[in-house]
A = this chain, B = another copy of it.
Amino acid sequence: MRELDRTEALGLLATVSLGRIVFTQDALPAVRPVNHLLDGEDIVVRVLGGGALASLAAPTDAPGVVVAYEADQIDPETHLGWSVVVTGYARPVADPGDVDRYTAALRPWVGQPVTGTVRIRPDLVTGFQVEAVPSPPSSAPWG
């Protein structure tokens, strides 16, 4: 198991389109799967519907809300793969040009109106990659 540096981690994040945004809702941990794209180092996601995520897309003068963002590609059998976790401020995307550009690039989900577009600026970036061959499961005949 090898730790990834920031560049490697964000590079891997850019190779997939699905991740999970992690935030606090009514003082409880909350998590939702979303699609993302990377614009430079920024992670851009679209918020759909009027659920818990919608508050992240509401216009604000605050510096934003701290969220975590996770994506992974891990083989359930071999455990080989990688996981990346980013922590940073999430803010609504306000610039109409940016919104149009992101809207064109991020595919919509089925049957959900788009509430807004959110940009996460990575502050902490961590990740690991599992490259080695795993040890045999404890239920193996020689175990």
Contact = CB atoms under 8 A, between A and B. Distances in A.
Interface of A: 1, 16-18, 20, 22-24, 28-33, 35, 66-68, 70, 72, 74, 76, 79, 83, 85, 87, 103-104, 107-112, 130, 132, 134-135, 137-139
B68 A29 contact: yes
How often does this chain occur in the complex, in copies?
A: 2
Contact of A68 (B17, B31, B67, B87): B31
A94 B29 CA distance: 24
B20 A20 contact: yes
Contact of A1 (B17, B111, B137): B111
Given A22-B68, A31-B70, 9 more contacts: A18-B76, A22-B22, A24-B24, A28-B87, A31-B85, A33-B74, A104-B139, A110-B132, A110-B134
